[in-house]
Amino acid sequence: MVFLLVLLAVINLGLLIPVAIFAAEIFASLLPARQKGIGGEGERPNVAILVPAHEEECGIAETVAALRGQLRPGDRLLVVADNCTDRTAAMARAFGAEVVERHDPVRRGKGYALDFGVRHLEHAPLPVVIVVDADCTLTPGSVDRLTREVAASGRPVQGLYLMSSPPDGGLNFQVAEFAFLIKNRVRPAGLHRLGLPCHLTGSGMAFPWETIRAANLAHASLVEDMKLGLDLALSGQPPLYCGDARIDSFFPYTTAGAATQRSRWEEGHVGMIALAIRSLPAAIAARSMQAVALALDIVVPPLTLLMLLIAGLFVVTAAATWLFGLPGLALYISAATAALFGLAAFTAWYAYGRKVLTPRALAQVLPYLLSKLKLYGSLASGGRSRGWVRTDRKRPDA
What pTM was computed for the model? 0.88
Residues ≥6 apart with Cβ < 8 Å to 110: 52, 54, 82, 202, 224, 388
> Per residue of the chain (398 residues), what is the pLDDT tens digit?
899 999 999 999 999 999 999 999 999 999 998 665 555 556 899 999 999 999 999 999 999 999 999 999 999 999 999 999 999 999 999 999 999 999 999 998 899 999 999 999 999 999 999 999 999 999 999 999 999 999 999 999 999 999 988 777 677 788 888 989 999 999 999 999 999 999 999 999 999 999 999 998 988 776 778 889 999 999 999 999 999 999 999 887 655 555 566 666 677 788 789 889 999 998 999 889 999 999 999 999 988 889 999 999 999 999 999 999 999 999 999 999 999 999 999 999 999 999 888 887 776 676 666 666 666 666 566 655 555 555 555 544 44
The DSSP symbol for 126 reads: -
Mapped onto helix, strand or coil, the DSSP state of residue 53 is: strand
Which amino acid, one-letter code, is at 172? N
Q: Are 56 and 390 in contact (CB under 8 A)?
A: yes
Per DSSP, 184 falls in state I
**DSSP assignment of 210-264:** HHHHHS---S--TTHHHHHHHHHHHTT-PPEEEEEEEEEEE--SSHHHHHHHHHH
CA 174 to CA 46: how far, in whole Å? 38
Question: Which domains does the chain carry?
Answer: 47-257 (3.90.550.10)
Phi then psi for residue 333, to 5 deg, are -65, -45
| Separation CA 177–CA 304 (nearest Å) | 12
Task: Tell me the CB-side half-sphere exposure of residue 386, using CA atoms within 13 A.
Answer: 5
Alpha helix positions (H), 108-223: 110-121, 142-153, 171-181, 187-193, 209-214
> Nearest-CA neighbor of 197 among 167, 242, 164?
242
Question: How many whole angstroms separate alpha carbon 112 and alpha carbon 216?
Answer: 10
* CA distances to 63, 64, 84, 132, 365 from 53, in Å: 11, 11, 8, 10, 34
What are the tens digits of pLDDT across the range 54-92? 999 999 999 999 999 999 999 999 999 999 999 999 999
Whether 110 contacts 223, CB under 8 Å: no
- The residue among 165, 356, 353 whose CA lies nearest residue 262 is 165
165, 176 contact by CB (below 8 A): yes
